[in-house]
Amino acid sequence: MPERLNPTSRILAIDPGTREMGIAVLAGQELEYYAVKTITQRRSSTSIISQACQIVRKLLKLHRPQILAVEKPFLGYGARSSLLSVVAREILTLGQRHGCNILEINPKTAKKIVAGSGSATKREVASVVCSRFPELRIYLRQAHQYQEKYWANLFDAVAIALSAAELSK
């Protein structure tokens, strides 16, 4: 559990991935920044990890968060799952080196905090996030399934940020 922080603390929240990473910065009650960052250098596991770390280093330097909140990866089977674990671990290590309070948040915990149920669907969580931050509504309903999956990374990151804010009270 992180130390109690003031209500204006800046939280950098990351939904880690090996293809895309959802990013959200919450400053107090304001959603200051949000994005989906795409991992373009996919030649090897090393290049994926390196680019993910490069993205996070830039975000830490630019936003100077007091808290780094990372969604705890779901560990399925296969190489991609273990690579995701390494990416998440490296992100957490970078946050520690930058002096951030670290929170690793389970997806079910975030769903419960944000949507009121640990079994809420991604769409239900996204709808709650959009009710809090209406500017995100344009990303909610997409014409193609791959677009919805892409923007789900953003909604997951915002949910992690909101959860981190609640857990840090």
Domain boundaries, the chain: 10-167
CATH architecture of 10-167: 2-Layer Sandwich (3.30)
**pLDDT value of residue 2:** 44
Going by their DSSP bridges, the two strands 67-71 and 10-15 should be labelled as parallel
pLDDT of residue 15: 97
Strand, helix or coil for residue 56 = helix
Distance CA 70, CA 48 (A): 17
Dist CA 52 CA 155 (whole Å): 19
Q: How much is the average pLDDT of 142-167?
A: 94
Residue 169 pLDDT level (bands cut at 50, 70, 90)? confident
Quick one: average pLDDT of 39-51? 95
Q: Is the pLDDT of residue 4 over 60?
A: no
Of 62, 59, 109, 56, the closest CA to residue 87 belongs to: 56
67: exposed, middle or buried (C-beta count within 10 Å: 0-12, 13-18, 19+)? buried
pLDDT digit string, tens, across residues 74-125: 776 555 688 999 999 999 999 999 999 999 999 999 999 999 999 999 999 9
What pTM was computed for the model? 0.92
Rounded Cα–Cα distance for residues 76 and 62 (Å): 33
At residue 30, the 3 state secondary structure works out as strand
Question: For 2-28, what is the mean pLDDT?
Answer: 85
Planar angle of CA 48, 52, 56, nearest 5 degrees: 170
Which residue has 């399925």 as its token pair? 76
| Displacement of CA 35 from its chain's centroid (Å) | 10
> Mean pLDDT highest for which of 23-27, 80-84, 147-151?
23-27
pLDDT surpassing 80 at residue 64 = yes
Tell me the average pLDDT across 48-53. 98
